Structures are given as structure tokens and as C-alpha cells.
Amino acid sequence: MDPQLRELRRLPFAYRYPILAHLPVDEPGIYSITGGRRIGKSTVLKQWMCDLLDLGVQPQRISYLTGELVDDHHALVALLTRDAPDRSPAQPAYLLVDEVTYIRGWDRGVKFLADAGLLENLILVLTGSDSVIIHEARGLLPGRRGRAPRVDFHLYPLSFSQYLDVSGAAGDSEPDSPEAAAALTDAFRRYLMHGGYLTAINDMAAHGRIEPATFAVYCDWIRGDMTKRGKQEHFLNEILGSVVRRYGSQVTWNSLARDLSIDHPTTVADYIALLSRMDVLIVQHAMREDRLAGAPKKARKVAFTDPFIFHAVRSWLDPVEDPFADQVKPALADSEWTGRLAEACAVAHHHRLHPTFYLKGDGEVDIAYLMDGGFQPIEVKWTGQIRSADLKQARKYRNSIICSKVATADRIHGLPNELLPLHLQRLGESPHYVTW
């Protein structure tokens, strides 16, 4: 058995990704799976291969390559054409290329193979951690993707709802009971530590803490992927450090650049754009209400896509022997930092489902996501006391709601209130593709 799958079976929570139900079985074409590093793309491919074998697909019809060991498109074409004569025209073959973006000119190789007819009756699945590179390269393959209604998928960290399902953390209490509210709040506090990353979730389940190696592995991947794309590690360190220091606040690329050794704000913008494509960061624009679109000249807010990524990055920026004991637990004991993490978590969950902005006027509204030709304002208040003055901007919108840690009040200062963990639970599982 594959060592990765063997290890998966030993974990407290062995997860089966919902995306597996949507991958092709008998429809030839070129498919892609994008998502951040260490999110489970390789595991999904290997679980899918096991599913195919269980369906009776012969092992020789399934091939797996890792792009990290293929230099360029010439080597890719040579590897793929080598096995072409052995494929049966009566049954589809399956070729899985993991982290294809490591292969220089991979899109040229795939285009050549498609034009030469070598991908006929082949289900080709490509994975990559840089969603924009794959998106741009897909433009070179019009008419070559196949006839399936969906060919592009995206893998996200487990949502809060998925974490509850896999761990059973919420228990069996009634949704609106005090016991359920307490269980959800306790589970959400843990989620703000390990996020939706299964390695960190399993660390917590097995050891009651996240192991130092888990933080280190993820940070090594971020740094490695950035340097492979020609970026400087010391610039990356400075930019991420500035994002952490200003977490939850509005920033401009000019203001970030003034605090750093980087000479030009376009360099800051370039690094943050790449980190966004790698599913490390989310850039949240202010919304122009007249156009229901981002306001490019206004300040932005930058958040990490998952709480675990935030903690992992901090462990790199400020190395300590035990990041969980020395950084994560103190952050969750600090009401200000917990509030920032809770807001960012809510932003990330809505960002997976809708175009998501913030509102700026006499005050600020944390989230405004587009839906049904309008937008839904949400103010996140993970604090013990909510002041009326803090809701000045939110009260301007008839449909505003508050998502808070208060489970006993239906309304706060005249606005509808919902327990934030319950709100996130009701959002359900993360989608298996980019929804907007």
C-alpha cells in the first residue's frame, strides 16, 4: 500500500474528501485540481486511484507522476508517449500528474499531446498549487478539455462544518440548546488553533497540541514555492511580518512598503498576489456599493486563508522551540488576537462561496458578500462587550446581521444576532470548485 495512505489509516481522523464523488470515471478530458500546499491534493489523487481499482479498473490503465521529478515539457511528453501504444482504445486510461506547475512549459507539452491525438480516450488530471498559472494555461487548451460539465476543481481546507463532522466535536445536542452553543464555541476555539488542515487537526486529537514539525513543514513549503518562483526569502519575511502586525487593519501597498526595506509598492503587490494564488492569503477589497465591486483606490484588508496558516507563519517569523505552547495558546488567551482570528476565519469561509468585501463609511462592516443582485452585510464581534457605536455603519443597511460569541440574544442594539460558530456551521462544507 502507498505509504501516504497507510499513514492516513493510522490517524485519529482519516478523512475522505467530498471532491472524490465528483472526479471523472469514464469521461475522457483534461481536468485540474488546484489548492494550497499540504492541503491534500496528493492524498485525493491516491484515494481516487483506490476508488478506480475498487471499480474494477485494471492497474496498468492508471499512471501517476509527480511534477517535482520532471524537468520540462520535453521530459513530460517523452514519459506520456512511452506508454501510449499500450493503452486499449476500448477503455479509458487514467494519467495523474501531481504538482504539474513544477514542470517548465507543461502547458506546451499538454497542448502538443492533445493536438497529436495522444490524449484521446485518456482522463488526464493535473494538480497545482498556483491557481492562476493553471487558469492561464487552460486558455491555451480551448476545445481540448473534454465534454464533462465541470473539469476544474479546487481543494480548500476543511470548513468549520466539515471539521465538526469529521471530529464529532459538536456532539448530539439540539442546535439551539445552551449545551450545543457551549460545544460549538469550544470547538470553534480549537478550530482557531488548527484550522482546516488535517495534519494539525490530527496532532490535536492525538497529542492535545500541534507538533513543532507540523508548523515547520508548512512554512518550508511556502518558502520553497516562493523561491522557486524567483522571490526573495527576506522580502517574503518582511511582507508576511507586516501582514501579521497589521492583522485585521486596513492597509495599502504604499504603507506596507514604507515600513519595509522594499523600494517599491508594486513589489509588495506582486508578492501578495502570488501568496493569494497559492491560497496563503486573501485580499479583501472595500466595496463600491454603486457597482457592487471592489474599490481599487481604497485600502485593503489582508487575511490568511486559514487559522493554522497564520500560526505557522508566525512560527517562522518569530522562531520558538514550541510554537503551540509559546504562540498559539497565548494568542487564543488574548481577546484582541482571538477577535482578529475569528473575523479572518469568517471572511475566509464566505470568500470560498461568494465575492467578499468589507464596507467603509462612518464605520466599518467586516463582511459584505454578493448574492441575488445585492449584498449581505455581516459584522463580526468576537468580544464580550459590543458597543452601539461600533455598529454605526452596520445599522445603515436593513439586512445587516451580527455574528458574535453571544448565544443568548436574538438582537443586539437592534440588529439580528447569531452565534458565530453556528453561522459558520450552517455555511456547510467548502465547495469543491471556485464558485465565483
Pairing verdict, β 364-371 and 374-381: antiparallel
**Structure letter (DSSP) for residue 117:** T
Q: Pick the closest to residue 418 from 381, 374, 375 (CA basis).
A: 381
CB atoms within 10 A of CB 347: 24
Give the C-alpha separation, 148 to 21, whole Å.
Answer: 14
Q: What does pTM read for this prediction?
A: 0.93
Give the C-alpha separation, 271 to 231, whole Å.
Answer: 8
pLDDT number for residue 432: 86
Q: Pick the closest to residue 369 from 345, 346, 340, 335 (CA basis).
A: 346
> Which sequence spans correspond to the domains of the chain?
3-155, 160-427
- Predicted confidence pLDDT, tens digits, the chain (436 residues): 666 666 667 778 888 899 999 998 888 888 999 998 888 899 999 999 999 999 999 998 999 999 988 999 999 999 888 766 566 677 889 999 999 988 999 989 988 988 888 888 889 999 998 887 777 666 767 666 777 778 889 999 999 999 999 998 776 555 678 888 999 999 999 999 999 999 999 999 999 999 999 999 999 989 998 998 899 999 999 999 999 999 999 999 998 888 888 878 999 999 999 999 999 999 999 999 999 999 988 999 999 999 999 999 999 999 999 999 999 999 999 999 999 999 999 999 999 999 999 999 889 999 999 999 999 999 999 987 899 999 999 999 999 999 999 998 999 999 999 999 999 999 999 998 877 6
Strand ranges inside 237-325, DSSP E = 250-251, 281-285, 287-288, 293-294, 300-304
pLDDT number for residue 425: 95
Pairing verdict, β 293-294 and 250-251: unpaired
Pairing verdict, β 401-404 and 415-419: parallel
Q: Which CATH superfamily is domain 3-155 in?
A: P-loop containing nucleotide triphosphate hydrolases (3.40.50.300)
Give the C-alpha separation, 429 to 431, whole Å.
Answer: 6
| 187: helix, strand or coil | helix
